[in-house]
Amino acid sequence: MDKTFNLIRHRRWYYLLSLAVIVPGLVALYVHHARDHHALNWGVDFTGGNQLQLRIDDPFDDGDIRAIMTRFGLADAVIQRSGQNEVFIKTRPLTQLQMNQITAAVRGRFPRTEMLREDTVGPEIGAELRNAAVTGVVIGLVLQVVYISIRFRSVRFAIAADVALLHDLLVVIGAFALTQFEVDSSFLAVLLTVAGYSINDTIVIFDRIRENLNMRTREPFEPLVNRSVLEALVRSINTAMTAVLAIGAVYVFGGETIRSVAFGLVVAILTGGYSSIFNASPILVDWYNWAERRGAARGGTPARAVPPVREPAASDDGSGDEAMAAPVLNAPARPASGRRRGGRRRR
């Protein structure tokens, strides 16, 4: 008795779990957009503005810096601590005079203050960067469809992989909308990591499916896909958990400035590994089953991974089913032997 666990059989639950993860993120995007016209917490790189990085050797907390910024009408400035004595201040676009005044005010409150970096990004540059990011993701999706279609000689594999990749992108974007981590230029690296890791893991599983299909084992398609996924399951889990542990250490010990990037990478790797196993392969099975039902509805004979084997049933007149008896009738005759074994010799 085959006791292999059937992952593919429960694919409807995997689809529901994916929806349960994606929908809250989409709701958060809508709520934030309706409230302040910013679905995500866009950073200076996308919206334009100024950023100060200061090192303060005197004791201070975020409230002290916030009080100074409020005096200049910048109560909504983003203040991030990095380590014990460094602080990042991000504001809307300011003039150089205003930046100098803010720096002087901080030095007046904390004499041992040193400016480490000052960046200015115009709104036009931020809009161009955002549009370039969207364009790059769309072009990447299209090119992956073309590449996978050529490699696997089937558009089904390509569409299934891209649907799983779209799932991963929505999960990552939704996670940033829920947590309101700042979205800056490093967010592009997170999206590219999502695309690369998800597609890589999906292709590994699809390669195993293709190898098993080429073996001509007369196994139905759904059990074959299930067996292929189980064969690659341990490899996928080990790869994902190794990467998550390494990046998780960066999230915990890396400081505030890199925490949003590490968070995005952890989410990307987890959702990429999940979608490759529980989304891409089940979508491939559902597409195959749908195509088979469609072929049967049109009156044709759908291609099956394994044709059913049946015994010829005898009819009422004892003639039997001609279609099923044909292979027996066409079987090669057994060559007659020139000497009968066990017979008596004629005298």
Spatial separation of the C-alpha atoms in residues 21 and 15, rounded to whole Å: 10
**Residue 288 falls inside a structural domain:** yes
**Dihedral sign from CA coordinates of 207, 210, 215, 217:** positive
Distance of CA 163 to the CA centre of its chain: 9
Instruction: Give the domain CATH number at 91.
Output: 3.30.70.3400
- 36 confidence band (pLDDT: 50, 70, 90): confident
The reply to whether 202 and 219 lie within a common domain is yes
The reply to whether 134 and 116 lie within a common domain is no
Give the global pTM: 0.71
Q: What is the pLDDT of residues 46-89, one digit of tens each?
A: 777 888 888 988 888 888 888 888 888 887 787 878 777 888 88
pLDDT the model gives residue 278: 92
Tokens representing 114 are 């040193």
DSSP-derived pairing of the beta strands 86-91 and 49-56 = antiparallel
Q: b/e string for 273-291 if b means 16 or more Cβ within 10 A?
A: bbbbbbbbbbbbbbbbeee
Spatial separation of the C-alpha atoms in residues 244 and 264, rounded to whole Å: 11
- The end-to-end CA distance of the chain, in Å, is 60
The answer to whether the beta carbons of residues 177 and 25 sit under 8 Å apart is: yes
Domain boundary among 297, 314, 339: 297
The answer to whether the beta carbons of residues 198 and 164 sit under 8 Å apart is: yes
Q: Is 1 or 15 the better-scoring residue by pLDDT?
A: 15
pLDDT the model gives residue 229: 92
Q: What is the pLDDT of residues 86-106, one digit of tens each?
A: 888 888 888 888 888 998 999
Share of the chain above pLDDT 70, in %: 82
Residue 229 identity: V
pLDDT the model gives residue 183: 84
Instruction: Give the domain CATH number at 234.
Output: 1.20.1640.10
Place of tokens 């161009």: 128
Q: Which domain holds residue 213?
A: 8-36+125-297
- 38 confidence band (pLDDT: 50, 70, 90): confident
Instruction: Give the count of domains, the chain.
Output: 2
The answer to whether the beta carbons of residues 184 and 43 sit under 8 Å apart is: yes
Q: What is the pLDDT of residues 121-178, one digit of tens each?
A: 776 666 777 787 788 778 877 887 888 888 888 888 988 988 998 999 999 999 999 9
Non-local (6+) Cβ contacts of 121 within 8 A are 44, 45, 48, 49, 50, 51
